[in-house]
Amino acid sequence: MADRDKSEYSKLLQPDPPPYQEHFQYPNAGYPPPGSYPSTSGFQGQQYGAPVGPYNQGAYPGNSAVTVQPVVYLTTVPLTNPPPDYLVYSVFTLLCCCLPLGIAALVYSIYTREAVMYGNRQLAESRSRTARMLNSIALGIGLTCLVVYIICVIVLSVNAH
């Protein structure tokens, strides 16, 4: 039984990894040489360890210099004169008129606010028009249902007497 345990244990052992080899032994192992890419940002690439200042220090021995790309920040500015988002109108139609169209109108109202925050005027205006249209349809359906209900109550009360 001890022999069987040793053979199972030896199967679990993996062979040792190959010895470490320096990168300079394989000059073109699928990597471009350092500094071969031009800067696409318009700024001149800065290399760590490159000769800078009065001390004229170079890279560490055995390591090549590293090129650093400048950081680019993208910012969006909210619209200064945004289209209306009809959020209150959407909540009213959601609660009082027509639930499904009120939900859709509320979603488009929120999309309008997001487009305004991202500064996309065309998308904000489109979503605003859609929210207004859905709200108007929901209000029309709600008022129609209310009028039909009132007429039915009046007719039934007149016929009952």
DSSP characters for the chain?
Answer: -HHHHHHHHHHHPPPPPPPP--GGGSTTSS-PPTT-SPPSSSSPPEEETS--GGGT--PPTT---EEEPPP--------SSPPP--HHHHHHHHHHT-HHHHHHHHHHHHHHHHHHHHT-HHHHHHHHHHHHHHHHHHHHHHHHHHHHHHHHHHHHHHHH-
Provide the pLDDT for residue 74.
76
CB of 112 within 8 A of CB of 135? no
CA distance 108 to 89: 12
Q: pTM for the complete prediction?
A: 0.54
Asked whether residue 16 carries a pLDDT value surpassing 80, the answer given is no
Q: pLDDT higher for 83 or 77? A: 83
pLDDT (mean) for 46-73: 61
Q: Beta partners for 68?
A: 46
pLDDT band for 79, please (50, 70, 90 cuts): confident
pLDDT (mean) for 36-55: 54
Provide the pLDDT for residue 29.
56
140 alpha carbon, distance to own chain's centre = 36
12-16, 42-46, 74-78, 99-103: which has the minimum mean pLDDT? 42-46
Task: Please state the domain extents for the chain.
Answer: 86-117+124-160
CB of 117 within 8 A of CB of 76? yes
Q: pLDDT higher for 106 or 32? A: 106
Give 98-145 pLDDT, tens digit per residue. 999 999 999 999 999 999 999 999 999 999 999 999 999 999 999 999
CA distance 87 to 79: 17
